[in-house]
Structure 1
């Protein structure tokens, strides 16, 4: 039966993640509408776009307990329905304060799909396939970003900010019934409850370092996703739809990079060694981008796309490493904790980079992002085989 097919369930988990992530992180692709609609500066609009992460930060640990207690399917369905309802509220609130409050609410209810779908996939695949499987699932992020970048700028010009955000709301509402029908791991088809929890993995340093690496690499990722489009508009004179289309195309190799990184880690039996390499290459590329914006602007566009791809490449590996380190009984909480800590960096990255942008411009944004990559290289734990 199709409900027992793990690859179908994996695909469904990926679609659910696309709906959730487009709702959470599609706002930066509507920065122009935020600026004009609410009379904000670029830095202020960037800060507003990061507010879903505040909601994530406040609720994800609680959602992790729900995942481990009630199962992935229940959590994902509730989250998707609440996300659609929350986005609909953007059309009835007024002003930047009201929009910001709704974006916090969106973050509070949309976050658990990522952790829940990750735990679902963790139970479906053996360790030797898990890097590939989690890489496939994690392509939901770049694909969700590609969808948002391709559609939302044009939709924003036609319908404004609130109208454009009804599109990810509709996707979330459409996928929720499919999740309710089919999103059950075969070995737990009779119920969603987790096995009794073993000792806490948080008594050891490895998982904290994995979380820290993920937080650090989240800063350049969010910086690129937040300011790439507006950089192409401001510095190169592109239209917002054209910039969005180019960024959307850049997400596709980002998705492929996650798949290849997963296969690479499966063959090595090591999730974190590839993370260290990706962080080092990403930091180097960001420094080159910072220099190119000053001396060779046409090359900067190419490097910008390369940095986008690299910034998206690590997530599947760090997420899988956290889940494997925690074990199945703690996987929901560990992945929710990782997302919560990523939300910290996602919340403060637009604020920090907005201040850097106001202070020294786009080259400084890219150079400061590179420093976070360097810190991540130093923090990666020693080699750990897949469990």
Structure 2
């Protein structure tokens, strides 16, 4: 008997997504044990820990085609099984190159779960509740990272790197029967976001979807900038101790997650996904600029401004993912969401390189001014969609 309750199906998909997140982003939590296992320093171990993200980049677009052709359930199950197999292979991997190859395979295998679960939201939820549902789904990333940070370091200290990584493998296998319990996508209904039969027109022939992708990449720059440099800014520029700075940054995750849910509900009620994104970008750009310019004149403004920017840069993701799914329609949603993930991964990868150059030339506070330029550009790039329901009825 298969489950047909959409909220239960969303919960099962979240378990699968959390399993994928712990596999891909759990390695940094056990970086010391990885270095010991490889007999290398922190720099080389860190490079190996980044290989799952490279695996994602190399395969996400291909996985998008698989999602649209084979469906969400089959793709998620295949991804979970391949992820578990790749993690299990760590026990047999030999040396730096062997572990590196396995880490690349882990990222390649785990890639499609995020896009496939987003397509599930499109097919199972109406436009009136899709924003909230996508916001709930987006919470799987911080939950997976938090789970990895809580569980894997202790396991790695006790058992070593490779045995500890069997825990994400076990979670992936445990999620397989849950995903198999879900029913096939429901028949298309008004507001469901396109035809399930795969005959819808190519949404990339128009500019709207490209612009939403572009907005996500632009807003990814301030988001990643705050994620990478907020703690460092508090320590180096404000004189905080690292544990206190880490606690402050961690505390900002809660309003960041809640904001995604609230904006999702708001967009469901108004039928507009992208107008709140424009407002967020318009508010974030001057806040980032002030974070660069005001603290030298009034140091007391530094921490409040930093926390405001840290929170506001987290809020757009659920809305942009929902807009992408609705503009693409069911027949193209897998490819469009995979492209969204891929482009965001590009932004995530390139932003630290850009900001490293900025710090070298102008100092750490200047990264926020540069990030403000990208937020301002996003204001202009946001497409003027006539509400989410308009996108769903293309």
Q: TM-score, normalised by structure 1?
A: 0.82
In 2, Cα distance between the equivalents of 1:176 and 1:197? 30
- Please report how far the alpha carbon of residue 116 of structure 1 lies from its aligned counterpart in structure 2 after TM superposition: 0.4
CA contact (8 A) 1:46 1:351 kept: no
- Cα distance between partner residues in 1 of 2:28 and 2:286: 25
Aligned position for 2:81: 81
Whether 1:116 aligns to 2:116 is yes
CA RMSD between the two structures: 3.5
Q: CA deviation at 1:40?
A: 4.4
Within the alignment, does 1:147 sit opposite 2:147 as a pair? Answer: yes
- Give how far 1:143 is off: 2.7
The one-character-per-residue Cα deviations of 1:16-63 (angstroms, maximum 9, x if unpaired) are 22222333334555677788974345xx88766554333222211111
Conserved 8 A contact 2:198-2:332: no
In the TM superposition, residue 164 of structure 1 has moved relative to its aligned partner by: 5.7
C-alpha displacement at 1:346, in angstroms?
2.0
Please give the residue correspondences for 1:1-387 in structure 2 after superposition, counting only pairs within 5 Å. 3-27=3-27, 38-40=40-42, 50-89=50-89, 92-95=93-96, 100-151=100-151, 165-182=165-182, 184-187=184-187, 194-228=196-230, 236-239=240-243, 246-290=248-292, 300-357=302-359, 360-386=362-388, 387=392
Helix, strand or coil at the partner of 2:82: helix
- Cα distance change of structure 1 residues 375 and 132 upon mapping to structure 2, 3 Å threshold: same
* 2-structure distance, mates of 1:117, 1:203: 25
CA distance in 2, matches of 1:18, 1:307: 26
Name structure 1 gaps, 5 residues minimum.
none
Aligned residues: 378
| Deviations 1:305-328, CA, capped at 9 Å, x for gaps | 443332221111111111111111
* CA–CA separation in structure 1 for the residues paired with 2:373 and 2:33: 31
Going from structure 1 to structure 2, the CA distance change for 1:55 and 1:73 (only over 3 Å counts) comes to same
State the shift of 1:102 in Å: 4.0
Deviation at 1:109, TM superposition (A): 1.6
Deviation at 1:127, TM superposition (A): 1.0
Contact 2:4 2:183 in 1 (8 A): no
Q: Go from structure 1 to structure 2 and tell me whether the alpha carbon gap of 1:185 and 1:196 turns closer, same or farther (over 3 Å shift).
A: closer
Deviation per residue, 1:134-187 (Å, 9 max, x gap): 122122223333434555566667777666655444433332221122364344
1:276 deviation in Å? 1.0
Distance 1:157 1:355 in 2: 36
Deviates more, 1:335-344 or 1:217-226: 217-226
CA drift of 1:12 comes to 1.7
Aligned counterparts of 2:144 and 2:295: Cα–Cα separation in 1: 28
Q: Does structure 2 conserve the Cα–Cα contact (< 8 Å) formed by 1:3 and 1:184?
A: no
- CA gap 1:172/1:61 in 2 versus in 1, 3 angstroms: same
Q: CA deviation at 1:211?
A: 0.8
Conserved? CA contact 1:83–1:169, under 8 Å: yes
Change in CA separation of 1:150 and 1:40 when aligned onto 2, cut-off 3 Å: same
**What's the offset of the Cα at 1:132?**
1.4
Q: Distance in 1 between matches of 2:153 and 2:301?
A: 24
Q: Is the 8 A contact 1:57 1:343 kept in 2?
A: yes
2:274 and 2:131 mapped to 1: Cα distance? 11
From the two aligned structures, give the one with the greater helix fraction.
Answer: 1
On the 8 A contact 2:288/2:372 being kept in 1, the answer is yes
Deviation at 1:348, TM superposition (A): 1.8
User: C-alpha distance in 1, partners of 2:246/2:162?
Assistant: 18
Deviation (angstroms), 1:221? 2.5
Change (3 A) 1:53 1:183: farther
Distance 1:158 1:251, change over 3 A: farther
CA spacing shift, 1:74–1:86, aligned 2, 3 Å: same
Equivalent residues of 1:6, 1:186 under 8 A apart: no
